[in-house]
Amino acid sequence: MSFHNTVLTQDVRQAAAWIRQGELVAFPTETVYGLGADAFNPTAVRKIFAAKERPRDNPLIVHIAHIHQLDRLVIDVPETAQRFMERFFPGPLTLVLPRHPAVPDEVTAGLPTVGVRMPRHPVARAFLEACGTPVAAPSANRSGRPSPTRWEAVYADLNGRIACILQGDRSDMGLESTVVDCTGPEPVVLRAGAVSLEALRDVVPETRLVARNESLKARSPGTRYRHYAPQARVVLVDHPDEALPDPRHAYIGLSPPAHPEAFGACCICPDVPTYAYELFDFFRRCDAQGCTHIYAQRVPRTGLGLALMDRLERAAA
């Protein structure tokens, strides 16, 4: 179904009514805006892939309002997952768990696992509560584009393709959730995100990063295709002097270039969390200005820097 205009609302009950009717709703979370459908309605879930032009073999994350909703989604919660939930739920962490047979293949891409997250964003929590069902939701953007941190970015990508946008403030973090597979003998981080590897290891010291060619990557969204890319070419640099000043070029990083005024757009961030928060919004701003190149400074792969470098490298692929 196509819509002449997507409905904009701040009413969680109005937005949830669209979910119960089998339609798509974009909603704010603390990470980025999500594009939701009833996780147990295969027809509705297929609309997500059509609206985003997303490959069908890319699994979705299911968002819940309450822990008891896990009973409908998974057949087992390993002890490591229990420990992570005690520390990080609600929050920006997705756990990959053994899938319940009732979960449609459309959600899991036919995998025996399902990713589950409980957002902490108050509007997201109220929305999920009003839906009364787990909601499958990837980021609310056209596939491959920068994830949206504002409802206006969702509207720019998906107006007329989805029923409703639940309007909220700009996302708090700007990067997607961390995805951890808890189905094996040790937890494996499939996608770096807003919860750092160091924080996870404080809870379960055996937690490790997925190996580059490990087949487990298929269990997480955001790992198999070019993602997070603006229309401009993204060029990674170690030092701002490597960026070529030009009105058609942009720069983002922790250190300022010698002549920031020579760039069409420039974003100097005081720290890595600010860099992560600004990244996707800056990408979209550069596209709106018609920039041809975006120079992005590399950061150390520690803490949130691991997730930030993952997004930068995928954008530059």
Cα 236 from chain centroid?
Answer: 21
Q: Read off φ and ψ for residue 81, nearest 5 degrees.
A: -65, -40
- CATH of residue 199's domain is 3.90.870.10
One domain, residues 27 and 100: yes
CA angle 57, 62, 66 (to 5 degrees): 170
Q: Does any domain span residue 60?
A: yes
List Cα–Cα distances, 238 to 73, 275, 292, 298, 303, in angstroms.
44, 15, 20, 5, 18
One domain, residues 44 and 191: yes
Cα 28 from chain centroid?
Answer: 11
One domain, residues 202 and 55: yes
Identify each DSSP E strand in 148-199 by its residue range: 164-166, 178-181, 188-191
Give the residue numbers of the binding site for L-threonine.
31, 117, 137, 177
Give the model's pLDDT for residue 220: 75
Give the model's pLDDT for residue 225: 55
Tens-digit pLDDT profile for residues 20-71: 999 999 999 999 999 999 999 999 999 999 999 988 888 999 999 999 999 9
Within a 13 Å sphere around the CA of 97, how many CA atoms are in the beta-carbon half? Answer: 25
> What span, in angstroms and rounded, lies between the C-alpha atoms of 42 and 259?
53
> What span, in angstroms and rounded, lies between the C-alpha atoms of 258 and 255?
9
Number of structural domains the chain divides into: 2
Q: Does any domain span residue 170?
A: yes
Give the model's pLDDT for residue 57: 84
Q: Which residues contact 185 (CB under 8 A, 6 or more apart)?
A: none
Averaged in consecutive runs of 10 residues, what is the pLDDT profile of the chain (317 residues)? 82 98 98 98 97 90 97 97 98 98 96 97 98 97 91 96 97 95 96 97 97 74 69 97 97 96 97 97 96 98 96 93
Domain span including residue 22: 7-219
- The model carries a pTM of 0.94
One domain, residues 200 and 258: no
Give the residue numbers of the binding site for ATP.
54, 58, 63, 113, 139, 147, 191, 228
One domain, residues 42 and 180: yes
Tens-digit pLDDT profile for residues 183-198: 999 999 999 999 999 9
Query: Which of 259, 217, 216, 264 lies closest to 240 in space, CA to CA?
Result: 259
Give the residue numbers of the binding site.
31, 54, 58, 63, 113, 117, 137, 139, 147, 177, 191, 228
Evaluate the CA torsion angle 205, 209, 210, 213 in order and state its sign.
negative
Omega before 59 within 30 of 0, i.e. cis:
no
> What span, in angstroms and rounded, lies between the C-alpha atoms of 273 and 305?
8
> What span, in angstroms and rounded, lies between the C-alpha atoms of 299 and 302?
9
